[in-house]
Amino acid sequence: MSHDEFSLIREWTKRGAQHAQGGLSVGIGDDAAVFTPPPGMQIVACCDTMIETVHFLRETMQPEDIGYKALVSNVSDIAAMGGIPRYALVSIGISSRWSPPECRRIYDGMYEACERYGVQIIGGDTVSTPDALYLSITVLGEVETGRALLRSGARPGDAIFVTGPVGGSAAGLAMLLKAKAAGGEVGRDWKSVAAFHQRPEAQVKAGRLLLASGLAGALNDVSDGLASELWEIAEASGVRMLIERDKIPLDREVKAYAASVGQDPLAWALFGGEDYQLVGTVRAASPIAEQFSASGLPLYLIGRVEPGAPGVWLADQEGCRPLEKGGYNHFA
Ligand code: ADP
Ligand code: MG
């Protein structure tokens, strides 16, 4: 990257500096940012990286989508702690294969997500890479002291929930790869399926509602597929998690797409990932379900926590069987 390109990125990131929000003393432009968390709050921090060819392909994601999704995946980790996202630091590595206008579009997507989730970019780093685009984001948020929602919070007797349909991102990716292999555009019918993959949303409001309710058990976000996230809770909490096949929420369009290509959408839901819904447990289903519906937020109860060796079990008409941590191969 040339000196001019570095200055371009500085120019693009200046737009964040305009809306300084409470607590930030120094933003972009000095050696580091300085901010003060509000009294009674702890800092909650996470970092997530996207690398071209490993996490996305140019053919399946527009530059805006790459920026948007990279920010959302971090915001989702803050949501999964019950926190409020506040600030982001962005490390980007660009090669000559990415033109300045394309890079600007990545920032456009990132700022669009920042606007939506109330996040301010307060710094970062810009480097050149030999080939693949590299985008690593750190998000800092706040949570009431001592109240962050952990994976270890599940207890026998809890109800298991998920905040929305799962499997959409994997369905979207499968569809986009198929379209790419056929050398064509995404059919108009499946635009909403593509959007699950390209423009996922984080569930900050649901995380905050769970924390405020005082009835939350464990919490996690669906970045690696429902089975893997439930396993993380089961192991961290030392409990057995039992989910019911028929209760796992699947999007209507995703089901229609699955039928059109002869796939079982449940495999996408269990082992796909990148849906960024929240999955977790609550002590009692009843007041929480009412609170969610009063706030206009969906909540799907999908199973229960039992005592026993850590594990995840799937129940259907044929009985109950253990779910592997991940991998389509084990799912017949
Ligand atoms: P230093 O050399 O002290 O590390 P830089 O000259 O790299 O600082 O960066 C100057 C300012 O621009 C810093 O505030 C830094 O956080 C910010 N910055 C650099 N790259 C980016 C980026 N890609 N996104 C957002 N802010 C960035
Ligand atoms: Mg410096």
Ligand 2 center from residue 32 Cα (angstroms): 7
pLDDT for the residue 245: 97
Contact 228, 273 (CB under 8 A): yes
- Using CA positions, which residue lies closest to atom 18 of ligand 1? 124
Domain spanning 3-144: CATH 3.50.50.60:
no
* Strands ordered across the beta sheet of 84-94: 41-51, 134-144, 84-94, 120-128
Ligand 2 center from residue 30 Cα (angstroms): 7
Task: For the chain, give the percent of residues with pLDDT over 90.
Answer: 85
pLDDT for the residue 20: 54
Task: Collapse the DSSP code of 72 into the 3-class scheme (helix H, G, I; strand E, B; otherwise coil) and give the result.
Answer: helix
Ligand 2 center from residue 91 Cα (angstroms): 15
* 109-146 pLDDT, tens digit each: 999 999 999 999 999 999 999 999 999 999 999 999 99
Atom of ligand 1 nearest to the CA of 30: 14
Ligand 2 center from residue 28 Cα (angstroms): 11
What stretch(es) of the chain map to CATH 3.90.650.10?
151-322
Residue 149 CA, distance from chain mean position = 16
* Packed helices 252-260 and 168-181: angle between N→C axes, nearest 10 degrees: 40
Other CB atoms within 10 A of residue 266 CB: 20
Ligand 1 center from residue 16 Cα (angstroms): 13
Q: Helix (H) and strand (E) counts for the chain? A: 10, 13
- For residue 94, what is the enclosing H or E element? strand 84-94
pTM (2 d.p.): 0.94
The number of the ligand nearest the C-alpha atom of 87 reads 1
pLDDT for the residue 331: 42
**CATH topology classification for 151-322:** Phosphoribosyl-aminoimidazole Synthetase; Chain A, domain 2 (3.90.650)
The number of the ligand nearest the C-alpha atom of 93 reads 1
The number of the ligand nearest the C-alpha atom of 70 reads 1
- Using CA positions, which residue lies closest to atom 4 of ligand 1? 31
The binding-site residues of ligand 1, defined as CB within 6 angstroms of any ligand atom, are 9-10, 13, 28-31, 90, 92, 121, 123-126
Query: Low-confidence residues of the chain, pLDDT below 50?
Result: 328-332
pLDDT for the residue 29: 87
Contact 28, 123 (CB under 8 A): yes
> Looking up tokens 């809890």, which residue turns up?
158
pLDDT for the residue 15: 73
What stretch(es) of the chain map to CATH 3.30.1330.10?
3-144
The token duo for 258 is: 């699955």
